[in-house]
Amino acid sequence: MTQVISVALDAISTSLVLALVAMGLAVVFGLVRVINMGHGAMLALGAYITWTLAQHGLPFFVSVIVSALLVGVIGLLFEVVLIRHFYDKQFETLLITWAFYLVATQLIKVFWGTDLHSVANPIRGTFTIGGAVIGRYVAVVSLVSLLLFASAGWVMYRTSVGIRVRAMIQNREMAMMLGVRASAMYRAIFALGAMLAGLAGGLISPMFSVEPDMGTLWLVRSFFVVTVGGLGSLVGGTLIGSALMGGMTTLVSLVAQQVFAQTVVFALAVIALRFRPAGILGKKAA
């Protein structure tokens, strides 16, 4: 029984961390229809800035917030200088954001080198649920992830901003004719997506090695979460996608190595997308 609870807790925490990492990508893709291939680099930047600030004595959680804000500003500049000229051109934005990923990753190597770094766990220790042991920090990150999704759901379905955003997703021209400033909203959403990537990078930095290419695998995982969950379904789709991807990885890891488990899950995701291209909660394009 303890082992079942342990596996369940592991699956839940893995899924929520994955959801946290994928959230920035889901926001940008779901709301402004840009597949941000730079998401992984933004995540790595968040981790590196957090590491640097923590090294200089800033409290860990302050470092995470500052790094999230800085990555948000980088995202804002990226949108203002380049992305805003290419909305509605999905292939061009794919290439531009991929170029951002390559340039940012190389700049990380130039500024921080290629050595692995580790960030000290700010909340050490474990606690038990039903005999199963779980790390306190992992639990906190999972909780942060849940709170973020609950907040996103509240904003989207309970506020006037959410009504405007949902209107813009459904019919941008009509929303503009009702006074919605689409360009400002797109800019804010892109910066928010970058900030969420930076926040995720900072928060996972004590859990994984900080290295220049750390964004690659997270980008791929996030991409599968968003597409399997449902293109454009910000809250439900991302949570379902991460639960499936995270849960399955945990389960397959019980009988195989982590790398093999990841490969199997990616293969299953590709097969699932073959039969449901818009994802589980996604709608077919009109």
Partner 1 sequence: MLEVRDVVAGYGNGTVLHGLSLSVQRGEIVGILGRNGMGKTSLIRAVAGLLRLREGTVRLDDIDLSRAPAHARAQHGIAVVPQGRGVFPDLTVDENLKLGRMAAGKRSRPGRLGEVLDYFPRLGERGSQAAGTLSGGEQQMLAIGRALMSEPQLLLLDEPSDGIMPVLVQQIAQNIVDINRNEGLTTVVVEQNVPMVRSMAGRCLLLEGGQVIAEGLLDALADSGRLEQHLGV
The contact set with partner 1 (CB under 8 A) reads: 160, 163-164, 166-167, 170-171, 173-182
- Beta strand 132-135 with 126-129: parallel, antiparallel or unpaired? antiparallel
Q: Which two tokens stand for residue 250?
A: 């945990």
| Residue 90: closest CA among 272, 268, 285 | 285
Name which of 117 and 164 has its Cβ closer to partner 1.
Answer: 164
Rounded to a whole number of angstroms, the minimum distance from the CB of residue 35 to partner 1 is: 22
Min dist CB 268 to partner 1, Å, is 30
CB of 141 or CB of 152, closer to partner 1: 152
**Minimum distance of partner 1 from residue 129's CB (angstroms):** 38
CB of 279 to partner 1, least distance (A): 16
Residue 159 CB, nearest approach to partner 1 (Å): 11
Concatenated DSSP letters of 41-65 = HHHHHHHHHHHHHHHTT--HHHHHH
Q: Which is nearer to partner 1, 86 or 98 (CB)?
A: 86
- Answer for the pair 43, 104: CB distance below 8 angstroms, yes or no: no
95 or 174, CB closer to partner 1?
174
Contact 237, 280 (CB under 8 A): yes
SS3 state at 86 = coil
Nearer CB in complex with partner 1: 88/213: 88
Alpha-carbon span 8 to 260, nearest angstrom: 20
SS3 263: helix
* Tokens read off for 44: 């790595």
